[in-house]
Structure 1
Amino acid sequence: MSRELTREEKAAIRKLVTSMCANYDRGYGCLPLDCECYMLGKCYTGALCRYFREAVLPLDPALEAALCSEGPPPDFKPCPVCGGPVPMDGRQAYCSQRCAQAARRRQKRDFMRKTRSRTVDN
């Protein structure tokens, strides 16, 4: 069952195709097809360009989850460290292990500063 793409999803697809797709050329369109890129005129989820689906779409995990899942687009919350998409389906708080480590370092640093300031005041 396909659904209509939202304005934000269409904009994200256009941005990915024009900036990251190796088959896209501004002057010629889609190089293997010698016509306008199929993904630029996409209005519904469903069939995607194979190269776009396998090579370009993984660069935007939120868009990939929205296009490849059935039903309404999934909800995402922003990562508190970098602002990237974090799925709201479980206990995951950060978008990657790198952001989780950065947040933990920041928490430890703040705790140690607080502890040091207490010992200096006494």
Structure 2
Amino acid sequence: MARELTREEKAAIRSLVVKWCANYDRACGCLPLDCECYMLGKCWTGAYCRYFRETVLPLDPALEAALTTEGPRPDFKPCPICGGAVAPDRRQAYCSEACALKAHRRQQREYMRRKRGVIC
């Protein structure tokens, strides 16, 4: 079932199209259609430009999950390291391997400080 896009989702779609879409040109709009880009005027979930859906949308996994799931928009929990979106349906605690590595280093540093007796 289709739902109305939120203001944040519309802004995220616009920024992805303007920055990453190979078919978008500021002067002409959508180059294959020779008109305004379909995705810039999008107000509801449902049908998307095929190029946008297959190539551009995977660049933002949180937006992709929000747009491709049926029903209401899923609530994402924030990553404790960088504040990025973490999918709520998995046991994943961090948004990326880099954040997980950074958290592991921080935990190890605190462990070694306590082991040495240095209290901060």
What TM-score do you get using the length of structure 1 for normalisation?
0.91
Alignment root-mean-square deviation, CA: 1.5
Deviation at 1:36, TM superposition (A): 0.3
Q: Partners of 1:90 and 1:35 in 2: how far apart?
A: 41
Q: Partners of 1:90 and 1:60 in 2: how far apart?
A: 17
Deviation at 1:90, TM superposition (A): 3.5
- Residue matched to 1:68: 68
State the Cα deviation string for residues 58-93 of structure 1 (Å, max 9, x = none).
011111011111000111011112222101223221
Aligned length: 119
- Residue matched to 1:36: 36
Q: Specify the structure having the higher radius of gyration (Cα).
A: 1
Q: Partners of 1:68 and 1:88 in 2: how far apart?
A: 15
Paired AA for residue 56 in structure 1: V
- Residue matched to 1:93: 93
* Gap regions ≥5 residues in structure 2: none
Q: Kindly report which structure 2 residues correspond to 1:94-109, keeping only aligned pairs within 5 A, or say none.
A: 94-109=94-109
Q: Partners of 1:32 and 1:40 in 2: how far apart?
A: 15
Paired AA for residue 86 in structure 2: V
SS of aligned partner of 1:15: helix
Q: Kindly report which structure 2 residues correspond to 1:9-88, keeping only aligned pairs within 5 A, or say none.
A: 9-88=9-88
Paired AA for residue 12 in structure 1: A
Deviation at 1:11, TM superposition (A): 0.7
Runs ≥4 in structure 1, deviation > 2 angstroms? none
Q: Partners of 1:28 and 1:110 in 2: how far apart?
A: 55
Paired AA for residue 92 in structure 2: Q
* Gap regions ≥5 residues in structure 1: none
Deviation at 1:9, TM superposition (A): 0.6
**Percent sequence identity over matched residues?**
75
Q: Partners of 2:90 and 2:10 in 1: how far apart?
A: 27
